[in-house]
A = this chain, B = another copy of it.
Amino acid sequence: MSTPATADTGTTAPPRPAELEAWVGLLRAHAAATRRFNRELMASHGLTINDFEVLMHLASADDGRLRRVDLAERVLLTASGITRLLDGLERSKLVCKASCAADARVTYAEITPRGRALLSAARESHVEGVRALFAERFSPEELQELTGLLERLPLAPQADVCPGADAAC
C-alpha cells in the first residue's frame, strides 16, 4: 500500500447502486440455495440440481423425449453442458438416446422407466425441500412477486448473439 493514510472505506466505494445490490443478492441467494439442494439431492438420490431439472423436463414432455437443443434452452446450459450431463444420466440408465426419423442430426434424450421412478422419488423430497425453504421465508404474494421479477432476467441470451444487428432478428 503506497498511500495507506487515507485508505478509509468510504472513499473507495461510495455509490453502490441499487442494481448491484440486487445482483449480489441474487448471487448469494443462488449460492446458498444451490449448495444446499445439491447436497441434499446428491446425498439422497445421486442427482445434481441440473440432473433433476432435466429429468423433470423430459418427464413432462410428450413421449418423455426432447431434443438436446431444446433441453439446453430450458435449463440454460450450453450444448456441450447438456451432452455431458446426459452422458451421466445415460450411464445411470435414467435416460436413453433415440434418433429422429425426420432429421438424422438430432438425438432425442428420452427418460426411461427407471428415470421416471427415480424422478418421482426424488421429486418428493426435493420439491418438499424447496417448498419448505421458500414457504418459510415468503408469503404466497411475495412468491409471485419474486417469480415475476426473476422471470424478466433470462431474456438476455438474444442480446448476446447479435450485438450490432438490430433489425436483422
Is the CB of A168 closer than 8 A to any CB of chain B? Answer: no
- Are A143 and B36 interface neighbours, CB within 8 A? no
Using A138-B152, A149-B138 as known contacts, say yes or no to A127 and B20 having CB atoms under 8 A apart.
Answer: yes
Number of copies: 2
Residues of A in contact (CB 8 Å), total 68
Using A28-B150, A150-B29, A153-B29 as known contacts, say yes or no to A143 and B76 having CB atoms under 8 A apart.
Answer: no
Contact of A18 among B13, B140, B160 (CB under 8 A): B140
Contacts of A21 in B (CB 8 A): 143, 147
Is the CB of A49 closer than 8 A to any CB of chain B? Answer: yes
Using A13-B59, A60-B9 as known contacts, say yes or no to A31 and B143 having CB atoms under 8 A apart.
Answer: no
Using A59-B13, A135-B19 as known contacts, say yes or no to A32 and B157 having CB atoms under 8 A apart.
Answer: yes
Identify the closest chain B residue to A116 (Cβ). Answer: B1
Contacts of A130 in B (CB 8 A): 19-20, 23
Is the CB of A24 closer than 8 A to any CB of chain B? Answer: yes
A151–chain B nearest beta-carbon distance, Å: 5
Contacts of A46 in B (CB 8 A): none
Contact of A22 among B113, B117, B143 (CB under 8 A): B143
Q: 17 other contacts beyond A12-B59, A133-B153, with CB at 8 A cut-off?
A: A1-B64, A1-B117, A13-B60, A17-B127, A18-B140, A18-B147, A19-B133, A24-B53, A25-B147, A25-B151, A26-B30, A26-B33, A27-B49, A28-B151, A29-B151, A29-B153, A32-B154
Residue ranges of A at the interface with B (Cβ–Cβ < 8 Å): 1-2, 4, 7, 9, 12-13, 17-36, 49, 53, 56, 59-64, 75-77, 113, 116-117, 120, 127, 130-131, 133-135, 137-138, 140, 142-147, 149-157, 160
